[in-house]
Structure 1
Amino acid sequence: MSLLVPGTGKAAGTRRRPTGVAVPAALAGLLVLIALAGPWLPLPDPAAGTLDDRLLGPGAPGHLLGTDSQGRDLLARLVAGARPSLVGGVLPVAVAALAGTALGAVAGLGGRVTEHTVLRALDVLYAFPGVLLALTVATVLEPGLPTTVVSLSIVLTPAVARVVLTEVRRVRTAEYLEAARVGGASRGAVLLFQVAPVVAPAVLVYCSSLVGLSVVYAAGLSFLGLGTPPPAAEWGAMLDELRPVLLTHPGVAVLPALAVLFVSVVFNTLGDALRRRTGDGTTPPPETVR
């Protein structure tokens, strides 16, 4: 008969299965490093090309991954496009994390009227599908990376706010919060020093999964001409440029799509691994973003 460890429900002496955080975390770090070090890597100029070298296949002399329809080196453009693509994926999630944490915490600690008001405001944003809302905001603003960040931040904030509100509801009647209030701590101090450290793990886990979705959204906006404008290298814009040759030169046309897919898989895997590591069963998967 095996003995159970008190409070865990697990048999004593059983080994915990690895959650696999190291591999996706290392790959995510490598992607960020490539994006940051791109300008200093020994690669051709991503904006320079010749029509004599147009649409060379992978493995062509001097062009490891081939060239695009203007003869520009695809490896250099993929590396150069990593920075705006990752910024368009990570920065909106960071903004949504801050704004959503503030909204969710205020709603959870501000009383019934405040909570009801915040929830109804979030419901207005939830009434629109995420892609449609991002397209609407991006259409109103001038195309560019700032537009991508603003539109995706608006789309992602309600989901983060609901995650935070769920966590705050779970702890807002805890004894240590009551003790802090009785001791004269202000609402801001309670939020900053008591509530924020409790909800931070759930926000981190959830937002790590949102990065992959945000990268896909950002690439979609650029594909439609609402994100980073050409001739700057960006994976979504590169997809649009190579779309006419998809059937004739699929080996080069699908490379930006594979880059977007790879980043999405890496960050989704990282979020799932973090969720298993923390045992967080309250954080919904990123598919809950419309």
Structure 2
Amino acid sequence: MIDLAGKSALREVTTVAAPWRRGRVTRRVLLALGWLLLGIPVALAVLGPLVAPSTRPGDVPLQPPGGAHLLGTDVFGRDVLGLALAGGTSVVLLTAASLALAYAVAVPLGLVVAAGARLAEDLVIRALDVVLALPSLLVLMALAATGRRGVGWLVLAVALVQVPYVVRLVRGAAAAPACLTALETMTLVGEPWWRVHLLETGRRVLPPVLVNAATRVVTVVGLLSSANFLGVGLAPAAVDWAVLVDQNMTALFLAPAVVLVPAGLLVALCAGTNLLVDELLERRVRAVTG
């Protein structure tokens, strides 16, 4: 009887623990997948130009993979492997620059709005609502129409359309009950305004800001890619994954690798970032809650 009872208890414990083990394995797989998907395009962006073969045009266009061109050539006769290795640097740099500029403006502005007077808060939010109402592509079209087609203007425009979303996120996170309670306590004990409403509030809104930044990678990469269709930003001859997709769309069925390779790297960059940040944030939440 004791043995039977012990075996029964063991089966019950194993049955209860099995979903946890499966969940833990799934999380590990997702974390590894996130690192892999993000690591490949980032590694290519950093190291690819050092080992990329020549990307000069002039060879036979749309050659199939093999021989001197492992992935074939594009519509201009450029080596697709060389373009894939060298074309990620501009994508990563422009995405990082756009996000850094947007959050460098929006996070402090959101903290000040959350801590400011009601009238000032309403004025800032209403002004940002005007920007929020503008379709992102309309802003890019305005750049193209006015002749402002440089990379600097592109980064500024992409960052601008992200600012209202981030300000609203920071403002909402700063108004959370747990955050307000901690800030009121610090104010009562005589902490200075800047420490309460900038440093402490900034620390508390950091997790949702990081998650939001990861999800905005997809939006920013999409806008930067769309800008090529409007002739804004990079030159048509630039070695860039998004430009490569734009230039070779008509050859999708003749030479699929010309489009699918850079498009796949763009998807991997976005998906890997989201997976990795989601898993890391979940680990942080579990560590805090025990």
Matched, 1:50 2:52: no
Which SS does the other structure have where 1:50 is aligned? Answer: coil
Of structures 1 and 2, the one scoring higher in RCO (CA 8 A, sep 6+) is: 2
Residue in 2 aligned with 1:286? none
The answer on whether the counterparts of 1:134 and 1:155 sit within 8 Å (CA) in structure 2 is: no
Between the aligned partners of 2:89 and 2:261, the Cα distance in structure 1 is 16
Between the aligned partners of 1:191 and 1:95, the Cα distance in structure 2 is 21
Matched, 1:37 2:13: no
Between the aligned partners of 1:258 and 1:222, the Cα distance in structure 2 is 17
Residue in 2 aligned with 1:64? 70
- Of 200-209 and 19-28, deviating more is 19-28
Residue in 2 aligned with 1:15? 20
How far does the alpha carbon of each residue in 1:73-118 deviate from its partner, in whole angstroms, 9 at most, with x for none? 1111122110111222222122222222112111111121122112
- Of 235-244 and 138-147, deviating more is 138-147
Q: Match of 1:29, as an amino acid?
A: G
Residue in 2 aligned with 1:8? none
Q: TM-score, normalised by structure 2?
A: 0.80
Between the aligned partners of 1:246 and 1:112, the Cα distance in structure 2 is 54
Between the aligned partners of 2:249 and 2:39, the Cα distance in structure 1 is 30
1:240 positional shift: 2.6
Task: Summarize the Cα distance change of 1:243–1:186 in structure 2 as closer, same or farther, 3 Å threshold.
Answer: same
1:172 positional shift: 8.2
Residue in 2 aligned with 1:124? 130
How far does the alpha carbon of each residue in 1:238-264 deviate from its partner, in whole angstroms, 9 at most, with x for none? 223213333433342443333323323
Q: Match of 1:44, as an amino acid?
A: P
The answer on whether the counterparts of 1:104 and 1:165 sit within 8 Å (CA) in structure 2 is: yes
Between the aligned partners of 2:84 and 2:127, the Cα distance in structure 1 is 39
Residue in 2 aligned with 1:7? none
Residue in 2 aligned with 1:109? 115
Between the aligned partners of 2:251 and 2:182, the Cα distance in structure 1 is 63
Between the aligned partners of 2:39 and 2:253, the Cα distance in structure 1 is 34
Consecutive unaligned residues in structure 2, runs of 5 or more = 1-15
The answer on whether the counterparts of 2:225 and 2:242 sit within 8 Å (CA) in structure 1 is: yes
Residue in 1 aligned with 2:142? 136
How far does the alpha carbon of each residue in 1:186-206 deviate from its partner, in whole angstroms, 9 at most, with x for none? 332223321111001110011
1:271 positional shift: 4.5
Q: Match of 1:117, as an amino acid?
A: L
The answer on whether the counterparts of 2:111 and 2:198 sit within 8 Å (CA) in structure 1 is: no
1:234 paired residue among 229, 240, 243: 240
Matched, 1:156 2:166: no
Residue in 1 aligned with 2:9? none
1:156 positional shift: 1.1
Superposition misfits of 4+ residues, deviation over 4 angstroms: 11-14, 274-280
Between the aligned partners of 1:29 and 1:253, the Cα distance in structure 2 is 21
Which SS does the other structure have where 1:15 is aligned? Answer: helix
Q: Match of 1:109, as an amino acid?
A: A
The answer on whether the counterparts of 1:221 and 1:236 sit within 8 Å (CA) in structure 2 is: no
How far does the alpha carbon of each residue in 1:31-81 deviate from its partner, in whole angstroms, 9 at most, with x for none? 22221112222x2122x1333x321123x2121211112221111112211
Residue in 1 aligned with 2:258? 252
Residue in 2 aligned with 1:77? 83
Between the aligned partners of 1:70 and 1:181, the Cα distance in structure 2 is 65
Q: TM-score, normalised by structure 1?
A: 0.80
Which SS does the other structure have where 1:61 is aligned? Answer: coil
Consecutive unaligned residues in structure 1, runs of 5 or more = 1-10, 281-290
Larger Rg, first or second structure (1 or 2): 2
Which SS does the other structure have where 2:254 is aligned? Answer: coil
How far does the alpha carbon of each residue in 1:257-279 deviate from its partner, in whole angstroms, 9 at most, with x for none? 33323323323333444565456
Count of residues in Structure 1 that have an aligned counterpart in Structure 2 = 266
* More helix, by proportion: 2
Identity %: 30
Which SS does the other structure have where 2:176 is aligned? Answer: helix
Which SS does the other structure have where 2:234 is aligned? Answer: coil
